[in-house]
Amino acid sequence: MSELRKNPFTGEWTHYAENRRNRPYEFLHKIEMKQQGKECPFCGGNEEKTTAPLYQDHAGQAWTIRVFPNMFPAVEEGAEALSENPFYQHVACEGLHEVLVDTPNHEETIDKFTKEHLEKVLSVLQARYRKMRDTKRIKYIQIFKNCGPSAGMSIRHSHWQIIGMPVLPQRESLMEQYMKAEDCLFCKMLAYEKNVGLRIGAENRDFLAIAPYASRFPYELWICPKRHITSLATVKTEELASLADILHGILPKVSALREDVGYNICMIDGAIDGAFHWHMEILPRIGGFAGFEYATGSYINSVLPEQAAKYYRNKI
Ligand SMILES: [Zn+2]
Ligand SMILES: [Zn+2]
């Protein structure tokens, strides 16, 4: 059974995916059990350990990017939900869950990728997004990457996840209300930030990387297209190169925050074909995420965004 249940008070959805209990987990009690090359399902040469690929850039073992369905999906095709009384809302957790492995090398991390390879990874993510968007019942697509066990990574080998869901998450639903193309608060925010300059971490022709005014996490950074782009699907080829360029500059600085720092890279979209200002969020995991945060939905952040931006502007 796989279903989504909506909290009737907050509008937040919780996924129930009982099959995920059985997935492998490499990190126990923060002591990493390093997968050897021959054990890891994502390593070059171990292709038979994954489901059949949906995409592979080169045949055989010469690949550098490979996409396949997740063996332990958070959503399922043809899922069914239990029926309940009218004030509880639920939806069958029907969707797609793919894994994109962005290097055949076990030890290589995204902060070491070349600009050209980053661009290629982004363009494959975009192609998968476009493909998934056309699938029936999918209303929202979440693309993300967990780097390091403190950021929820379960397999050390660098990879992305792409989850197509039948509902729009509450956070994106709330943001969407302020992102109508003709009157987008996000566009206004970017114009303001560019003007004051205090929270800009990096900038190039098409993108502005800002430490958001009300950052939740220390050194949180949003990579925002200057143009009002509604989804990953409509990012132009030259803009993907620009995005790769800005990531290439920023990611080594995220990694340098502290030894073995964990972080998440999330693409933030709205509902498919909805109004949104698409962007990426980089969320370093420094310090706790504990009782206070879970209870209140408020965050205690020890680094002011203005200081975080200054860190990103400086050379390491
Ligand atoms: Zn590996
Ligand atoms: Zn906008």
Q: For 73-121, what is each residue's pLDDT tens digit?
A: 888 777 776 667 778 888 888 899 999 999 999 999 999 999 999 999 9
Q: How many CB atoms lie within 10 A of CB 271?
A: 17
Cα–ligand 2 centroid distance for 268 (angstroms): 13
Cα–ligand 1 centroid distance for 62 (angstroms): 15
Cα–ligand 2 centroid distance for 140 (angstroms): 19
Backbone angles phi, psi at 58, to 5 degrees: -135, 150
Residue boundaries of the structural domains of the chain: 24-71+95-313
For residue 26, what pLDDT is reported?
A: 58
Proximal ligand: closest to the CA of 101: 1
CA count, 13 A, side-chain hemisphere, 51: 13
Proximal ligand: closest to the CA of 187: 2
For residue 282, what pLDDT is reported?
A: 98
pTM, rounded to two decimals: 0.92
Proximal ligand: closest to the CA of 102: 1
Which pLDDT tens digit goes with each residue over 18-75? 776 666 655 554 444 455 556 899 999 999 999 999 999 999 999 999 999 998 888 8
Proximal ligand: closest to the CA of 180: 2
Q: Which residue has the tokens 């029936």?
A: 136
Rounded CA-CA distance 137/12 in Å is 19
Q: DSSP states of 44-91 as a string?
A: TT-GGGSPPPSEESSSGGG-S-EEEE-SS-SSBTT-------TTSEEE
> Hey, what are 246's tokens?
């800005």
Cα–ligand 1 centroid distance for 196 (angstroms): 44
Cα–ligand 1 centroid distance for 154 (angstroms): 12
Which pLDDT tens digit goes with each residue over 149-159? 889 888 899 99
Strands 179-180 and 183-184: antiparallel
Cα–ligand 2 centroid distance for 65 (angstroms): 31
For residue 29, what pLDDT is reported?
A: 43
For residue 22, what pLDDT is reported?
A: 67
Rounded CA-CA distance 139/129 in Å is 12
For residue 189, what pLDDT is reported?
A: 98
Proximal ligand: closest to the CA of 36: 1
For residue 33, what pLDDT is reported?
A: 44
> Hey, what are 258's tokens?
């502290």
Instruction: Please report which confidence band the pLDDT of residue 261 belongs to, taking 50, 70 and 90 as the band edges.
Output: very high
For residue 21, what pLDDT is reported?
A: 67
Lateral strand order in the sheet of 159-165: 55-56, 66-69, 96-101, 159-165, 140-147, 262-268, 279-285, 221-225, 207-210, 200-203
Cβ-Cβ contacts under 8 Å for 24 (sequence gap 6 or more): 154, 155
Cα–ligand 1 centroid distance for 34 (angstroms): 9
For residue 114, what pLDDT is reported?
A: 98
Q: How many CB atoms lie within 10 A of CB 75?
A: 22
Which pLDDT tens digit goes with each residue over 112-137? 999 999 999 999 999 999 999 998 88
For residue 38, what pLDDT is reported?
A: 64
Proximal ligand: closest to the CA of 186: 2
For residue 193, what pLDDT is reported?
A: 98
- On whether the CB atoms of residues 279 and 225 are closer than 8 A, the answer is yes
Which pLDDT tens digit goes with each residue over 161-209? 999 999 999 999 999 999 988 899 999 999 999 999 999 999 999 999 9
Residue list, CB under 5 A from ion ligand 2: 184, 186-187, 228, 277
Cα–ligand 2 centroid distance for 283 (angstroms): 21
For residue 90, what pLDDT is reported?
A: 85
Cα–ligand 2 centroid distance for 277 (angstroms): 5
Does the pLDDT value for residue 255 go beyond 60? yes
For residue 31, what pLDDT is reported?
A: 41
Proximal ligand: closest to the CA of 156: 1
Cα–ligand 1 centroid distance for 307 (angstroms): 36
| Rg of the chain on CA atoms, in Å | 19
For residue 7, what pLDDT is reported?
A: 92
Cα–ligand 2 centroid distance for 175 (angstroms): 11
Proximal ligand: closest to the CA of 49: 1
For residue 287, what pLDDT is reported?
A: 78
Cα–ligand 1 centroid distance for 181 (angstroms): 42
In the CATH hierarchy, which fold is given to the domain comprising 24-71+95-313? Answer: HIT family, subunit A (3.30.428)
Proximal ligand: closest to the CA of 24: 1
Q: Which residue has the tokens 């492995």?
A: 101
Cα–ligand 1 centroid distance for 173 (angstroms): 36
Q: Which residue has the tokens 């698409």?
A: 278
